[in-house]
Structure 1
Amino acid sequence: MTEPSEVITAVEFLAKTAGIIDTIRTNLLHNRLDRKEFQRLLSEYSNRAESDGKLMNAARQEPHCANRGLFLAYNHMECLSWLDKHNYTIPSSSVKWYSWKQILGKNRIPIFWSSSPTVELQALMKNIERTAALVCADLKAHNISIPETSVKYLDVPIGEHVATPPTEAYEDLLARGIAAQKRLAGTKVGTGMTEK
């Protein structure tokens, strides 16, 4: 059973994740890995993450909006899983591209760049943006006050129904997200120790 002190909200989780993603972006910039569009997408993610967390928390308070909030959480989880799978982590992004010892290590990102990762990340970000706009529209349709956020959400018409929600519960997505967050930060899952 989870201790009350260990309970984490979507806002807290995504705010911490935003900091990690911004560090990865900064590392790519400082190591002169010229991936400007990719860095812009990472910056966009870190700028919107906490605001999306506020929407998720608001959606969970209203049963009619909960499924859309769950979809938004799922889309964020897919983005974090993708970054983790492709090794966009703090340790790998801090590798100096001109150090052969570091380049050949297990923690590395591709030296030679193709547009494929950028296109994939762009698609993931579009899903997050679209779903967040639908959550916002759903909250408005049910007369639920929308939390103040730094993001200007798209104005979209609300759909008639929500497709079947993801099979994972919100708490399961959050647990999976925390594990991915630790891997992105370079800490071993289950400990606070940094991987070497």
Structure 2
Amino acid sequence: NRDLETFWKFTRNFTGTKDMRLSVNHLEDIAVLSEARQVELLPMFRRLERLEFHGAHWTKDKTAAVTTILNLLHCCPVLITLRINLTAKYEEEDASNKQGGHKQKGTTRKEILMAAMVGPRYLFPCLQSSLRKVDLQFQLEKKDCLGVKLIKTFAENAMVLEEIRIDSGDEKLCEHMNPRIAKWNSSRREFGATNFVLLPLKR
């Protein structure tokens, strides 16, 4: 909790910038879930147009990591370009977990939806009117990894999105996702959103 407050209060020193680069070692530690805490802690970067974000996260609690990224989007109402570089951390189960002992509670789907408030009725300003380009760099360890979840989040909620570029370690991921992209674009047109393309990200 102390680290969470320190991080968000420190970022208030940069609310006037147009270009920001952040690096966070544990994304889960700075996720702000409750609405009251969001009002208290989250700053507003009213001029920020480009955000580059490097973050490490535990593979067992993807939802908290997503919440942190959505917290950042909430702070950036005129964001145009977003680049995210993710590093997955793998946590070995301890002996008590293997023996059926206590397991640490992860962030529930209900909590993340409450915190993120994404969907047709709840769109952050940047998702509604400014975010056009997203670059995602992540390791595709399995089909529901954090990088894939973020692709889905932007595809369903970024209304003026033009392109998502990805580097997942799998050169065929773009090809595999083409049917889903076509389905998402069809759904997006119903809401008056732009079509977007999924392209490989060149390092």
- Bucket of the pairwise TM-score, normalised by the shorter protein: under 0.3
TM-score normalised by length of structure 1: 0.26
TM-score normalised by length of structure 2: 0.25
Could you say which structure has the higher strand fraction?
2
Could you say which structure has the higher helix fraction?
1
Where relative contact order (Cα < 8 A, 6+ residues apart) is larger, the structure is 1
